[in-house]
Structure 1
Amino acid sequence: MRLRIMVTPRIRALADVGELLATAAQRWPARPAVRDLGSPPVTYRELFDQVATVEDWLRAQGAGPGARVAVIAHSQLATVVLMWATLRIGAVFVPLNPAAPAAALTSMVTDADPVLTVGTPGALADWPEVAGSAARTPRFPTPPVPTGTGPDDLCMLLYTSGTTAVPKGVMCPHRSVRYAVEAIQERLRYTAEDVVFNRLPLAFDYGLYQALLAAHAGACLVLAGPGSDTMLLRSISTTGATVLPLLPTIGGMIERLRRRSAPLTGIRLITNTGAAMPEQMRRSLRDIFPAARLALMYGITECKRVTIMEPDGDLARPRSTGRPLDGLEVLVRDADGRPVPPMATGEIFVRGPSVMAGYWQDDEQTDARFVRLADSSERILRTGDFGHLDHEGYLYFEGRRDDIFKHKGARMNCREIESAAERVSGVDLAALLIPAEDDEPMVLVVAGESVDSASVLAGMRQRLEAVKIPEVCVAVPMMPITLNGKIDKRRLREAHCR
C-alpha cells in the first residue's frame, strides 16, 4: 500500500539548522535555554554569546565548512554549545557516546577523520581548556560567511550500529534535519513554557534532537546523565519538567523508583521511540504522571522521524506508532518488493524530505539501504523493519528483519512473543533470545518486581499458540541496556545461552 500525505503550508523546507539558535535568541533572549542538573540555566542570549565565542575558536582550530568536529557527547551544556557552534560555521557535528568501548570510539574517530576531537570518555575534560582558549581567541570583526555549503551539505554525522556490528555514520544534511525538526514540532507542539527533561544520550539522535526542538520552540532543555538515575523522579519534579522523552528502559526505571514517590502532575507530554512501549508500562506511566499525554513514535537514525501518534492516540490504537509525518510516504512491501494491501505485513519503506543521505564513505551499504528509484536521483529508505498499515494509514511496527525467524517449523515474530510476556501482570520488560539453531531452546528473559518464570509462561499460554511459548524463561531484577538505552540482548545471550 502507498500512503502519501502532502506537505502542509505550515511546514517549510528550510535549510540552515544553525538558524534555529539565532531565531531563538532573538525571540526569547531572556528565557532559560539549557541547564545541567544542579546548575542554573543559561538564557538564549547567553547561550548564543557562548556559541559565538566558540565559533571563532573552532575556526582558529581549522574547522570550517565540511570539516568534521568530533565531540565526546556527555550530557552537559558544553556539548550543546559545541553542537551549535559547529553547525553555525558550516562544519559537521559528530557526537560520540562517552560510554562506547574504546575500540568503537577509535573506529568512529578514524572513520570520521575529524579536524579535531573534543573530550575524553571519562569527562568532557577538554572543555575548560576550550572555554578558556575560546575566551582568549580574537573575535572576527565580521564572521566569515560559510562558502560552499548549502541545504544538501552535511550538518551532522550520527553513528549507529544498525543491523551490523560496525558503527556506520549516517550522513545528515541541513535540509533533512531542519525538515525533520519542523515536521516533528508540527505534531508534538513544544512551547516556550516547556521544560524538556532529557535523560537520553546526546550521541543518540532521539536525545540530540531534543536540543533542536527546544530551540525551535523556545523551551528549556534540562540535561540529565546516567549518574542522576537514583534521583530521577525528584529531578523531574524539582526542575519543573513538562516534557519527558523516554525509552522503555527508562520507563522501567521510573516504575521502580515510583514506589518512593507520589504522582507527579507537572509532566504534560511523554514521548517514546526506540522500542515498543509495553501496554502495562503505558498504564503505569499514566498513573505516575496523571496530567501527561503519551505520544508513541517510530523512526530510525536514517529517517528522523517516520511516524508520530497523536497524543493519547494509543488509547484507541494501542499497538500503533501513528501516522507518517507530513510530507513522508510510507510503503509496505513483500519479499519481492511488491506493495501489500492494508493490514498485510511486509517490510517498511520510507521516502520524503527527512530521509537522510546515506552512510559516510560506504557506498555498498548506502546502495543496499537507500534504494535509488528508477529514472530518478531520489532514494527510498529500506528500513529493515516489518509492520503493516491499517486502512486509515496508521503504522503498526512488528519487528526488525532479525526479529522474524523460524523455530520447530513455525514462523515466529520476536516482538509478538515479547509483547505477550509484557502483558503478564508484574512484567516490566521482556527480551526473547532467538536460538541460533533449530534444536536450541528459545530463551525469554523478563524483568519486573516479584515475577517468576512459571507464572509468566502460564500467562503467555493464554495469549499465544503452544509452539510460540519459549522453552526457557529467566527472571532478572533489571535488564542490561545498550549505549543508546535499549535492551542489550548480546549481554543477555552471553549470560543465559551458554
Structure 2
Amino acid sequence: MTRPAFPEPLDHLPLRGAGDAPALVLKDRVLDYAALELWTGRLAAWLAARAASQGWQSGARVASWAGKGLLACLMPLAAPRAGLVHVPVNPVLKRAQVRHIIADSGARLLIANSGRLGALHGDDLAADCAALDEKAVMEEAEACTPLSPSAADPDALAAILYTSGSTGKPKGVMLSHANMWLGAESVAEYLAVTPEDRVLAVLPLAFDYGQNQLLSTWYAGGAVVPIDYLLPREVVKAVEAQRITTLAAVPPLWVQLLEQEWPAAAIAPLKRLTNTGGALGEVLVRRLRAQFPDARLFAMYGLTEAFRSAYLNPDLIDSHPTSFGKAVPHVEIMVVSDEGLPAKAGEEGELVHAGPFVAQGYWQDPERTRERFRPAPAWSDYGGTAVWSGDRVVRDEQGLLYFVGRRDAMIKVLGQRISPQEVEDAAMATGLVAECVALGLPDAKMGQVLHLVARGGAGGEKAPTDALIAAMRRELPAYMLPQQVHWRDELPRGATGKLDRAGLKRELEGSQ
C-alpha cells in the first residue's frame, strides 16, 4: 500500500490558494487567500501573546464556542500556528455539555459571544480558564503583527474534537496536524474539488466533516461559504444566491431539504452532493438522484476516531445505492470476522480502519482508548494502531462495502439479530414514512422488542399503523416487524443533526 507523502503543518493551508482568489465568504465580508493568511497570522499572534502573558505551555488547549463567523473559521489554523490545541464546541450545545468539554479538555481559554457566555454559571469554568467575548478578541487581533507560518511537527496535537456523546459523556478525539492535513488532501482528491468550487459549509465546524469542509476546500484552493441556519429553506436560498457547487449533509437534513421547493436556479450550479453521519438508504438515494440528476452523489462512511474511511464512486450510486464503496485515498479498510480473520465476500465482520488518519486516541481516557485503538490485524498492510469501529459491515465480490449496523445497536428478538438499518429502510420504502428510528427495548420473554419511531410521509400525514406494518410485511420476515410504532410530528436531533437514537431509547424505556 502506498504511504502518503509527509504532510506540512496544518496552518500552511492558506498558502496553497491563489492570493486574490476567494477563500472564505462570510455575511459581512469576503476573504481572498491573502486575507485568509493575514487573519490567520493575526489571530495566531494574539493567541501566542495571550499564552506568553499567562505562562501557558506549548499544547495548551483553547476552546471556541461560536457561530460560523470569522473567528470560528480561523481557529482551526490559528491555534496550531500559535502552538496551541483547538477545542471547537458546537454552538447548539447547552451549559452542562459545554461545562464537561471545557473541564475535560483543561482549556485555558473559552472564546464565545456575550450571549453564550452569559448562559454560563460562575462555577462552570475552572479558575484558570478565562472566558472572552469573540468580538473583543477579533478587534484586538486585528491590531497584531501576523505570526508567520509554523514549523510544527506534523505529528503534534492540533485539535481535540468531542464526539456527540450518544453512548455517554462526549469523548475528546485527539487529532494531529498530519491527521487533518492528510484528511483534507484525501477528500479534496476523491471529490475532485477545484479552485472554481464554492462549498456551502452547513455542518457544524465542531463536527469532523464539518471542519474538513473548510480544510479540504482550502487545500484545493476553492471558496467556503459558511452558513448558520434555522430552517432548511434557508439552505436552499443560500445554494441559489451563492451559486454553490458542493453541498454536504447528514441523512435527516437531506430528508428536510427534499421537502423544500428547489428552484431551477438553485439546482443548476450543484456539481456534487456528499453524505456523512449515517447510511442514506436506497429510498433517499433514489429521491436525491431524481431531484439533482446532474449532481454527483457521494455516499461516504467515516468515524471521528479516523475521519473518512470509505466512499462510493458516484458512477456506481444508481446500481449500488446501499453501498458506501471502498477505502478513501491513504486508508486501509479491513473487514474482520468474529474469528479475527479476513471476512470472505458476503460474510459479516467488523470494519477496522488503519493508516495515517487514525487519531491519537481519546484525551485523558486510556481505558476507552485501549478499547477502540488497538493493533491492526497481523495481515494488515499498514499495521500499527488501527481503529476497531464496532460497526458491522459486509464486502461483496467487487470489494464494495455495505453497512449492517453498529455492534452495540443490533437488536436481538428471540435470539435473532436484527439490523436497525434494514428495518428503517423497509419502513422508508413503503412511502408512508419520511424518517424513522428502529430501537430494541428490553423484554423479559423475547430478549428485546422492536419499536419504530416514525414521522409521517407526504405532508407529514400519519398512516394507519396496520397499513404500515402490512406494507413492511411484504419485505421483512415476521420477527423483523415492529411490535409498536410511535408516530411523531418531529424526531429529535443531536448536535450534529443526526437523529437522537440514544435519547429516543431512553424516553421509550422510561415510559415502559
TM-score (norm 1): 0.91
Worse-matched range after superposition: 247-256 or 156-165: 156-165
Asked if 1:84 corresponds to 2:96, the answer is no
- Report deviation, 1:334: 2.8
Asked if 1:309 corresponds to 2:309, the answer is no
What does 1:242-281 correspond to in 2, within 5 Å? 242-258=245-261, 264-281=267-284
Name which structure has the greater RCO, CA cutoff 8 Å, separation 6+: 1
Task: Tell me the residue number matched to 1:407.
Answer: 413
Worse-matched range after superposition: 446-455 or 390-399: 446-455
- Report deviation, 1:19: 1.1
Task: Tell me the residue number matched to 2:19.
Answer: 29
Give the alignment partner of residue 490 of structure 2, picking from 458, 462, 478.
478
Amino acid at match of 1:30: D
Confirm or deny: 8 A CA contact 2:16 2:221 kept in the other structure: no
Give the alignment partner of residue 470 of structure 2, picking from 439, 458, 464.
458
Asked if 1:229 corresponds to 2:232, the answer is yes
Task: Tell me the residue number matched to 2:321.
Answer: 318
2:433 aligned counterpart, secondary structure? coil
In structure 2, the CA distance between the partners of 1:245 and 1:122, relative to structure 1 (3 Å rule), is: farther
Task: Tell me the residue number matched to 1:61.
Answer: 50
Confirm or deny: 8 A CA contact 1:77 1:223 kept in the other structure: no
How far apart are the structure 1 equivalents of 2:11 and 2:150?
13
Task: Tell me the residue number matched to 1:118.
Answer: 111
Give the alignment partner of residue 32 of structure 2, picking from 43, 54, 72.
43
Task: Tell me the residue number matched to 1:7.
Answer: 2
Identity %: 31
How far apart are the structure 2 equivalents of 1:382 and 1:121?
41
Task: Tell me the residue number matched to 1:128.
Answer: 135
How far apart are the structure 1 equivalents of 2:240 and 2:282?
24
2:67 aligned counterpart, secondary structure? coil
Worse-matched range after superposition: 440-449 or 193-202: 440-449
How far apart are the structure 2 equivalents of 1:162 and 1:328?
26
In structure 2, the CA distance between the partners of 1:229 and 1:275, relative to structure 1 (3 Å rule), is: same
In structure 2, the CA distance between the partners of 1:405 and 1:85, relative to structure 1 (3 Å rule), is: same
Give the alignment partner of residue 441 of structure 2, picking from 420, 432, 435.
435
1:245 aligned counterpart, secondary structure? strand
- Report deviation, 1:386: 0.6
Return 5+ residue gaps in structure 1 as ranges: 1-5
In structure 2, the CA distance between the partners of 1:259 and 1:52, relative to structure 1 (3 Å rule), is: closer
Q: Deviations over 1:371-427 (max 9, x none)?
A: 135899921111011101122222111111122121133221111111111211242
- Report deviation, 1:56: 1.1
Give the alignment partner of residue 104 of structure 1, picking from 86, 97, 118.
97
- Report deviation, 1:289: 2.4
Worse-matched range after superposition: 52-61 or 400-409: 400-409
- Report deviation, 1:496: 4.9
- Report deviation, 1:88: 2.1
In structure 2, the CA distance between the partners of 1:121 and 1:341, relative to structure 1 (3 Å rule), is: farther
Amino acid at match of 1:103: A
Confirm or deny: 8 A CA contact 1:195 1:219 kept in the other structure: yes
How far apart are the structure 2 equivalents of 1:104 and 1:173?
24
Worse-matched range after superposition: 183-192 or 462-471: 183-192
How far apart are the structure 2 equivalents of 1:306 and 1:374?
17
Give the alignment partner of residue 297 of structure 1, picking from 285, 297, 300.
300
- Report deviation, 1:438: 4.6
Give the alignment partner of residue 378 of structure 1, picking from 381, 384, 387.
384
2:386 aligned counterpart, secondary structure? strand
In structure 2, the CA distance between the partners of 1:99 and 1:348, relative to structure 1 (3 Å rule), is: same
How far apart are the structure 1 equivalents of 2:322 and 2:431?
18
How far apart are the structure 2 equivalents of 1:266 and 1:456?
38
- Report deviation, 1:72: 0.8
In structure 2, the CA distance between the partners of 1:399 and 1:438, relative to structure 1 (3 Å rule), is: farther
TM-score (norm 2): 0.88
Amino acid at match of 1:84: L
1:315 aligned counterpart, secondary structure? coil
- Report deviation, 1:162: 5.5
Give the alignment partner of residue 64 of structure 2, picking from 71, 83, 86.
71
Return 5+ residue gaps in structure 2 as ranges: 118-131
Q: CA RMSD in A?
A: 2.4
How far apart are the structure 2 equivalents of 1:198 and 1:134?
24
Worse-matched range after superposition: 356-365 or 114-123: 114-123
